[in-house]
């Protein structure tokens, strides 16, 4: 996945970003890999708060641009 001109996300980062979007929407999500969350933080797509990792407005914009914004049900990642 490409964001803007020079940023791309691996499949695991995209799943982590989607999980953070679902978490913000109030849905239950799987755990979020710390290294993925840190990478998203470095990209400005997530941040660490006292309540854990959260998606940033830039992260939500990225999901919306990809057409994968949070819905009422979490995605089935092959489970």
pLDDT tens digits in sequence order for the chain, 79 residues long: 555 544 578 999 999 999 999 999 999 988 899 999 999 999 999 999 998 999 999 999 988 888 776 665 555 555 4
**pLDDT reported for residue 76:** 57
CB < 8 Å & 24+ apart, contacts of 4-11: 7/43, 9/43, 9/62
* pLDDT at 6 (0 to 100): 43
Domains of the chain, each with CATH number or no CATH = 2-66 (1.10.10)
pTM for this prediction: 0.78
pLDDT in the model for residue 67: 78
Give pLDDT, residue 17: 94
């Amino acid at each position: 996945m490409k964001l803007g001109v020079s940023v791309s996300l691996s499949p695991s980062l995209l799943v982590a970003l989607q999980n953070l979007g679902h978490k913000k929407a109030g849905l239950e999500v799987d755990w979020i890999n710390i290294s993925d969350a840190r990478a998203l933080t470095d990209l400005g797509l997530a941040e660490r708060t006292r309540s854990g990792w959260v998606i940033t407005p830039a992260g939500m914009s990225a999901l919306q641009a990809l057409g994968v914004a949070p819905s009422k049900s979490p995605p089935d990642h092959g489970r």
